[in-house]
A and B are shown apart, each in its own frame.
Chain A
Amino acid sequence: MGTFKHILWRVLNIVPVLLVVSVLTFLVGRLTPGDPIEAQFARDHTPEQVEVIRASYGLTLPLWQQYAKWVKDLFTAGGGLSIAQGQPVFDILLPNFANTLILTAAGVVICAVLGVVIGVIAGINHRRFPDRFAMLFVQTGSNLSVYWFGLVLIWIFSLWLGWLPVAGMESRNGGGFGDLLAHLVLPGLSAALISTLVLARFVRLGIVQESHSDYVRTFASQGVPRRRLVGKHIGRNILPAVVNIIGLEIGTLITGVIFVESVFNWPGIGTQLVNAVNGKDYPLIQGGVILVALCYLVVNLLTDVTVDALNPRLRR
Chain B
Amino acid sequence: MISAQRGRPAVIGIVALLGALVLAACGGANGGTAAGASQGSGTPKAGGTLVSGLYLEPLALDPHRQGYWETYRVSSNIFEGLVKEDLSDPEGPTKLLPALATDWKASDDGTTWTFTLRSGVKFHDGTDFTAESVHKNVRRVTDPTYEFYDKTGAPRLATWFRDFVKGRVVDDHTYEFRFSKPFLGFPRILAQSMSTLTIGNPATWEKYGNDGFADHPSGTGPYTFVSRTVGDRIVLKRNPGYWGPKPLLDELVFRVIPNNQTRLATLLSGEADIISYVQPEDVSTLESRGFQVPEGHGAALLYFTFNYKNKAFQDKRVRQAVIQGIDRGKLAKEVYNGHAVPLGSLLPPGNEAYDPAARDFDYDPEAAKALLKEAGYGEGALSFTIVADVANQNLAEWLQSQLKGIGVNVKVVTLDRPSYVARAFGKPEPDDGLSIDEYGGSYAEWLYQVYYTNIVVKGLDPADFPEITEALDKARYTADQDKRLELWKEADKKVREGAIAIPAVSLTRYYALGPNVRGFVYAATNWYDLTKVGLAG
Query: What residues of chain A have their CB less than 8 Å away from a CB belonging to chain B?
Result: 32-36, 38-47, 49, 52-53, 56-57, 81-82, 84-87, 91-92, 95-96, 139-140, 142-148, 151-152, 154-156, 158-160, 162, 165-169, 171-172, 194, 256, 259, 262-265, 267-268, 271-272, 274-275, 278-280
Chain B hits for A95, CB < 8 A: 229
Chain A hits for B268, CB < 8 A: 159
Decide: B259 and A85 in contact? CB cutoff 8 A.
no
Decide: B421 and A167 in contact? CB cutoff 8 A.
no
Which applies to chain B's interface (DSSP): helix, strand, loop or mixed? Answer: helix
How many A-B pairs fall under 8 Å by CB? 208
Decide: B271 and A143 in contact? CB cutoff 8 A.
no
Closest 5 CB pairs of A and B: A34-B418, A86-B60, A267-B232, A143-B7, A34-B422
Residue on A with the closest CB to B272?
A: A167
Q: Say yes or no: is B463 at the interface (Cβ < 8 Å to chain A).
A: no
Instruction: Pick the contact of A144: B15, B65, B232, B425 (CB < 8 A).
Output: B15
Chain B hits for A171, CB < 8 A: 271
Docked Cα-Cα span, A148 to B261, in Å, equals 11
Residue on B with the closest CB to A262?
A: B259
Chain B hits for A35, CB < 8 A: 418, 422
Interface members, chain B 251-293 (any A CB < 8 Å): 255-259, 261-263, 265-266, 268-269, 271
Q: A256-B1, A271-B258 are in contact. Are A156 and B152 (CB under 8 A)?
A: no
Decide: B453 and A46 in contact? CB cutoff 8 A.
yes
Instruction: Pick the contact of B259: A57, A263, A275 (CB < 8 A).
Output: A263
Decide: B49 and A34 in contact? CB cutoff 8 A.
no
Docked Cα-Cα span, A58 to B231, in Å, equals 26
Q: A144-B15, A168-B232 are in contact. Are A44 and B257 (CB under 8 A)?
A: no
Chain A hits for B416, CB < 8 A: 34, 278
Q: A39-B417, A57-B152, A156-B26 are in contact. Are A151 and B423 (CB under 8 A)?
A: no
Q: Pick 14 A–B contacts, CB within 8 A, sort by A.
A: A42-B421, A43-B439, A46-B452, A56-B155, A85-B59, A139-B7, A145-B2, A162-B269, A165-B271, A166-B265, A167-B257, A171-B271, A263-B259, A265-B256
Decide: A86 and B230 in contact? CB cutoff 8 A.
no
Interface contacts beyond A86-B65, A95-B229, A265-B257: sample of 12 additional A-B pairs, CB < 8 Å, sorted by A:
A38-B422, A39-B417, A42-B426, A43-B421, A56-B152, A85-B57, A86-B62, A158-B265, A167-B257, A168-B232, A265-B256, A267-B229
Decide: B437 and A45 in contact? CB cutoff 8 A.
no
Chain B hits for A139, CB < 8 A: 7-8, 11
Interface flags for B57-71 (1: CB within 8 Å of A; 0: not) read: 111101001010000
Decide: B7 and A154 in contact? CB cutoff 8 A.
no
Residue on B with the closest CB to A82?
A: B230
Q: A46-B453, A160-B25, A272-B231 are in contact. Are A53 and B67 (CB under 8 A)?
A: no
Interface members, chain B 1-38 (any A CB < 8 Å): 1-2, 4, 6-8, 11-12, 14-15, 19, 22-23, 25-26, 29-30
**What is the distance, in angstroms, from B216's C-beta to the closest C-beta of chain A?**
11
Decide: B453 and A33 in contact? CB cutoff 8 A.
no
Q: A56-B151, A143-B12 are in contact. Are A263 and B418 (CB under 8 A)?
A: no
Q: Say yes or no: is B214 at the interface (Cβ < 8 Å to chain A).
A: yes
Instruction: Pick the contact of B155: A49, A145, A268 (CB < 8 A).
Output: A49
Docked Cα-Cα span, A41 to B482, in Å, equals 33
Decide: B214 and A262 in contact? CB cutoff 8 A.
no
Interface members, chain B 122-179 (any A CB < 8 Å): 151-152, 154-156, 158-159
Instruction: Pick the contact of B194: A44, A144, A159, A166 (CB < 8 A).
Output: A44
Chain A hits for B449, CB < 8 A: 44
Decide: A33 and B423 in contact? CB cutoff 8 A.
yes
Residue on B with the closest CB to A32?
A: B419
Residue on A with the closest CB to B424?
A: A42
Q: Say yes or no: is B211 at the interface (Cβ < 8 Å to chain A).
A: yes
Residue on A with the closest CB to B268?
A: A159
Chain A hits for B156, CB < 8 A: 41, 45, 49, 53
Docked Cα-Cα span, A39 to B49, in Å, equals 35
Decide: A265 and B262 in contact? CB cutoff 8 A.
yes
Q: Say yes or no: is B454 at the interface (Cβ < 8 Å to chain A).
A: yes
Residue on A with the closest CB to B49?
A: A172
Docked Cα-Cα span, A95 to B12, in Å, equals 39
Residue on B with the closest CB to A284?
A: B230
Q: Say yes or no: is B51 at the interface (Cβ < 8 Å to chain A).
A: yes
Chain A hits for B59, CB < 8 A: 40, 84-86
Instruction: Pick the contact of B215: A38, A53, A87 (CB < 8 A).
Output: A87
Q: Say yes or no: is B457 at the interface (Cβ < 8 Å to chain A).
A: yes
Chain B hits for A56, CB < 8 A: 151-152, 155
Q: A42-B421, A42-B425 are in contact. Are A159 and B1 (CB under 8 A)?
A: no
Decide: B255 and A168 in contact? CB cutoff 8 A.
yes
Q: Residue among B154, B262, B454 with the most chain A CB within 10 A? A: B262
Q: Say yes or no: is B195 at the interface (Cβ < 8 Å to chain A).
A: yes
Q: A43-B437, A43-B453 are in contact. Are A167 and B265 (CB under 8 A)?
A: yes
Decide: A140 and B425 in contact? CB cutoff 8 A.
no
**What is the distance, in angstroms, from A144's C-beta to the closest C-beta of chain B?**
7
**What is the distance, in angstroms, from B151's C-beta to the closest C-beta of chain A?**
4
Docked Cα-Cα span, A42 to B67, in Å, equals 12
